[in-house]
């Protein structure tokens, strides 16, 4: 298919224009969950979630990503419990409604359910971040297309077997993108995510990070999320709450490899890492 322009261009998300390539954008994670792997789950505490999002905005976050169900892979975390759509809605919608009244940056909803995405958009979300890229619930594509919101489509699979890791990921992301276009999602609304930690071993994640520039051929902005993930824990032999330096290294290398958005938990620190890395990678002049 030839809908995709050879450059990444711009995307308007919730009234904010994102100029891909001009700088790196930071997505701050607000977990309205009880069992987040990152140990920052806030459950249904709307007040705490709102306060956290406001802190992230003040620290320089460009997007706030709200999720109501843990996406921890069962292969790594044996205590993962499924969440019903009703429970996910009860966690996510009140937080997004609250945030839409006070935030100046766009809100993203982290969900793979069409019903949750639809309600979240009605509540004020301007982006749908689907870790199953419309494969778990295909109706989510129609929700995104009808609402005209941006989408993050992530590579994911069951198991960790590949014929050739990076070409396989690139090929699947291309197929996912083409499906989104057929569903009516605008080309400039699509952001792609290689899915670090999803259907991949630690070695796979490190190789993908090392070869991230090979995703440039897809012609769309790339989001990378390695913040606090188990790969960092394996390499450094550190618990989740001691992975900020490892996260910083992956953020810097993601930007050097061409990432346009980094999804992080430690917003203040990673905004500084992104700005410093941008100064090296994209150029800098004294004010």
> Which residues are known to be catalytic?
229, 263
Helical ranges in the chain per DSSP H:
46-59, 85-102, 114-123, 139-147, 165-182, 202-210, 230-236, 244-256, 267-281
- The encoded tokens of residue 96 equal 């997004």
| Residues with Cβ within 8 Å of residue 108, at least 6 apart in sequence | 27, 63, 64, 65, 66, 125, 126, 127, 128, 129, 150, 152
Residue 223 sits at the vertex; the CA angle it makes with 165 and 186, to the nearest 5 degrees, is 105
DSSP 3-state assignment of 277?
Answer: helix
- The encoded tokens of residue 193 equal 């995510």
Number of Cβ atoms within 10 Å of the Cβ of 219: 18
List for the chain the helix, strand, coil content (%; round to 5): 45, 15, 40
Number of Cβ atoms within 10 Å of the Cβ of 263: 26
């Amino acid at each position: 298919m030839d809908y995709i322009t050879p450059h990444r261009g711009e995307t308007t998300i919730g009234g904010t224009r994102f100029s891909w390539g001009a700088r790196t954008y930071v997505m701050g994670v607000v977990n309205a969950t009880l069992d987040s792997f990152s140990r920052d789950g806030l459950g249904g505490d709307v007040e705490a979630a709102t306060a956290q999002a406001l802190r992230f905005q003040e620290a320089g976050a460009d997007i706030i990503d709200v999720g109501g169900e843990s996406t921890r892979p069962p292969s790594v975390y044996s205590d993962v419990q499924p969440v019903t759509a009703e429970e996910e809605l009860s966690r996510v919608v009140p937080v997004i409604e609250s945030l839409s009244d006070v935030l100046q940056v766009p809100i993203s909803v982290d969900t793979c359910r069409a019903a949750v995405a639809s309600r979240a958009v009605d509540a004020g979300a301007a982006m749908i971040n689907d870790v199953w890229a419309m494969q778990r619930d295909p109706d989510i594509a129609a929700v995104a297309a009808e609402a005209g919101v941006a989408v993050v489509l992530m590579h994911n699979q069951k198991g960790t077997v590949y014929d050739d890791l990076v070409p396989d990921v690139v090929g699947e992301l291309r197929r996912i993108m083409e499906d989104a276009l057929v569903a009516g999602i605008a080309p400039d609304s699509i952001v792609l995510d290689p899915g670090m930690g999803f259907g991949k071993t630690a070695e796979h994640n490190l190789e993908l990070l090392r070869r991230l520039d090979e995703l440039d051929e897809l012609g769309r902005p790339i989001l990378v999320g390695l913040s606090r993930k188990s790969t960092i824990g394996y390499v450094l032999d550190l618990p989740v709450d001691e992975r900020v330096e490892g996260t910083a290294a992956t953020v810097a290398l993601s930007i050097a490899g061409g990432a346009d958005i980094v999804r992080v938990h430690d917003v203040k620190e990673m905004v500084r890492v992104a700005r410093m890395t941008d100064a090296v990678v994209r150029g800098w002049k004294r004010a």
